[in-house]
Amino acid sequence: MSSRRSRTRQSGCSRPISDDQINDLVSKLQQLLPEIRDRRSDQVSAANVLQETCNYIRSLHKEADDLSERLSELLASSDTAQAAIIRSLLMQQ
Amino acid sequence: MASTLMISNPVTNSDRSRKKKKKKTQAKDHHDQDHIKWKSEAQQQIYSSKLLQALSQVRLSSPPPSLPPPSSSTSSASVSAPPRGRAVREAADRVLAVAAKGRTRWSRAILTNRLKLKFQKKHKRQRVVATVTGTNRSSLSRKPKVSVLRLKGKGLPAVQKKVRFLGRLVPGCRKQPLPVILEETTDYIAALEMQIRAMTALADRLSGAGSSSAPPS
């Protein structure tokens, strides 16, 4: 694909991307994932780490959506919400 | 002229070398600082207060910018839960992107996407809905393209495929090369974790403050 080739030629920071660099980034990612950290097996493949990452991000998204629902319900009634907001701001500082 | 500068102002010369050094170490510490940044209490406090302000604004503007409900048999009540939750989530994402200070691609993509959605909403509403909700469908349709890509330099095609999939989850990383996606992902995960911690704390505070009166600190 000529378009593909021209695109890679334009992105010229580090064109030959070494496997070591990739492995380094994947291992850094591995440290962030709670599941793989707890499992403590040294034989996690890159594909496994990436799969866990996808699942983790999706679960984080879902958790954020659930929290948003909860917050929207909490903020639905105006009076308690206003008082609660003011109170929580004061408590924070 | 450079020599006179050097002679007369040795300070600037050392400054210049210091700046050069600073630039190099900054690139190295960049990654570490970002991870530490999302875990610090201060960052979470800042995010929480900004989020609170944004949320109070969302609440005040009573009809939130909501997508048309696909199939709602019941008539639209005054408080419609899904668009509200969606508006809260979008506000939270926006505040998170602002907290990132524009250093990462995903934060810039979130902020530009909001603007795009606002302007495109009137004309191309259906298309926007398709792109937002149809990520799964697009991944299935794009399956054969992976085998055409170069297999040599970037490792196994399985890894490649997974990274592409990951690139679709992280906003703004669909067309980026592999190491960029991995970098963005690490920062994005840390930021999301902070977002969830802050929102959980906020929800607990709001639900706790609503029931009891002024708990002792």
For residue range B163-208, what is the model confidence (pLDDT) as tens digits? 888 888 888 777 788 888 888 888 888 888 889 988 888 888 777 6
pLDDT along chain A (93 residues), means of 10: 47 62 81 72 76 90 89 70 69 60
Q: B171-201 burial string, b = 16+ CB within 10 Å, else e?
A: bbbeebbbbbbbbbbbbbbbbbbbbbbbbee
* Cβ neighbours of residue B197 closer than 8 Å, sequence gap 6 or more: B44
Higher pLDDT: B123 or A86? It is A86
Q: Residue A60's pLDDT is what? A: 92
Task: Tell me the mean pLDDT in the region B155-163.
Answer: 79
Cα B177 versus chain centre, distance: 19
Sole residue written with tokens 């064109």: A15
Chain A residues close to B206, C-beta within 8 Å: 71, 74-75, 81, 84-85, 88
Return the number of other C-beta atoms located less than 10 Å from residue A6's C-beta.
9
Res B136 pLDDT > 70: no
User: How far apart are alpha carbons B125 and B127 in whole angstroms?
Assistant: 5
Q: Residue B145's pLDDT is what? A: 43
Find the CATH number of the domain harbouring A86: 4.10.280.10
Q: Residue A59's pLDDT is what? A: 92
* Cβ neighbours of residue B200 closer than 8 Å, sequence gap 6 or more: A67
Number of domains in chain A: 1
User: How far apart are alpha carbons A24 and A7 in whole angstroms?
Assistant: 25
**Token pair belonging to B188:** 């994005």
Return the number of other C-beta atoms located less than 10 Å from residue B92's C-beta.
26
Sole residue written with tokens 């909490």: A74
**Would you tell me the crossing angle of helices B41-60 and B81-99 to the nearest 10 degrees?**
140
- Given an 8 Å threshold on Cβ–Cβ distance, is B178 in contact with A85? no
Contact by Cβ (8 Å): A22, B154: yes
Q: Residue B29's pLDDT is what? A: 54
Q: Which of residues 13-32 of B touch A (CB under 8 A)?
A: 31
Chain A residues close to B30, C-beta within 8 Å: none
Range of the domain at A17: 3-91
ipTM of the complex: 0.72
Mean per-residue pLDDT over chain B, rounded: 66
Q: Please state the pTM of the whole predicted model.
A: 0.63
